[in-house]
Amino acid sequence: MANRGPSYGLSREVQEKIEQKYDPELESRLVDWIVTQCGGNIEKPQPGKQNFQNWLMDGTILCRLINSLYPCGKEPIKKITETPVAFKQMEKISQFLQAAEAYGVITTDIFQTVDLWEGKDMAAVQRTLMALGSVALTKDDGHYRGNRDWFHRKSQGNRREFSEEQLRQGQNMIGLQMGSNRGASQAGMTGYGMHRQIM
């Protein structure tokens, strides 16, 4: 973690708002899912944002998580080595983020490496893991392990096909969004060129 001095003023207010978005209950659910998804040989961290950050910070667990969502032999991260070197740990986090995006997590749902590494925005880390769990549940390809109530299914496209005749009929119909001309008349209107008569 980088050694930074305390923040003041607006920077401090912004950081406090970011920290308020962190959800301890969600942390517990995510830890349970990661342990279940990766297998039982991962030790759970003690509750708390700092412990959650330290548990994920080296990138090893994240890489194992994304690999567990793929069939054997098709894992996106081929080599996961545990190393104390900071650069290598940040590289593993970056590999996880690239693999998560390739898996189907939307770019706007993906955190930045420093959000986890420096603990700047752990709520963003939670959002990424939630999005990953939702995509895994939605794919329903047999690789998701865990309680199905932990995540929401993403909506699927519901494409409709219309015949040429139905499309032609739709062009002749005035939609209610355009309003209605029922009861409309020009009674009581005066032309612009005519002077109004005063009675």
Q: Report pLDDT for 175.
A: 64
Q: Report pLDDT for 98.
A: 92
Mean pLDDT, rounded, for 171-189: 66
82-135: pLDDT as tens digits: 888 888 888 899 999 999 999 888 999 899 988 888 888 888 888 899 899 888
Residues 6+ away with beta carbon under 8 Å from 139: 104
Contacts 24+ apart (CB under 8 A), 81-84: 82/58, 83/58
Residue 51 has pLDDT above 60, yes or no: yes
CA distance 90 to 36: 24
23-47: pLDDT as tens digits: 788 888 888 888 888 886 888 888 8
Cβ atoms of residues 98 and 89 within 8 Å: no
Maximum C-alpha span of the chain: 96
Q: Report pLDDT for 1.
A: 47
Of the pLDDT bands very low, low, confident and very high (cuts 50, 70, 90), residue 191 is low
143-173: pLDDT as tens digits: 778 777 777 777 667 778 888 888 888 777 7
Buried b (16+ CB within 10 A) or exposed e, 70-98: eeeeebbbeebeeeeeeeebbebbebbbe
Of the pLDDT bands very low, low, confident and very high (cuts 50, 70, 90), residue 2 is low
pTM score: 0.69
Q: Report pLDDT for 23.
A: 75
* Residue with token string 């603990």: 119
Other C-beta atoms lying within 10 Å of the C-beta of residue 130: 20
